[in-house]
Amino acid sequence: MKTLATIALGFVALIASLICLLSSICAVSGGSTGTGRAGFAVTAVVSLGVAIGAVTLTAKLNRKG
């Protein structure tokens, strides 16, 4: 069960990292009007937090001892 949870958390971290990357690209290239930049930036920060949380949970789950 621990292995399955590790794999699932790895996929969550991977997807969240990709969302963060794509949102960051969209926020930076938002154009001169800046339409939607704040929304993309918030999405990037939230997905970064999810990725960090998933990695932290994976580390706690697989801690020896």
More confident residue, 32 or 8: 8
Residue 26: its pLDDT value, please? 86
4-18: average pLDDT: 96
Residue 52: its pLDDT value, please? 97
Interval 24-63: pLDDT, tens: 998 888 755 666 788 888 999 999 999 999 999 999 999 9
Contact 27, 37 (CB under 8 A): yes
Q: How far apart are CA 10 and CA 54, in angstroms?
A: 7
Query: 61: closest CA among 11, 17, 1?
Result: 1
Residue 28: its pLDDT value, please? 87
Residue 32: its pLDDT value, please? 56
Any idea which residue has 């001892």 for tokens? 65
Q: How far apart are CA 5 and CA 7, in angstroms?
A: 5
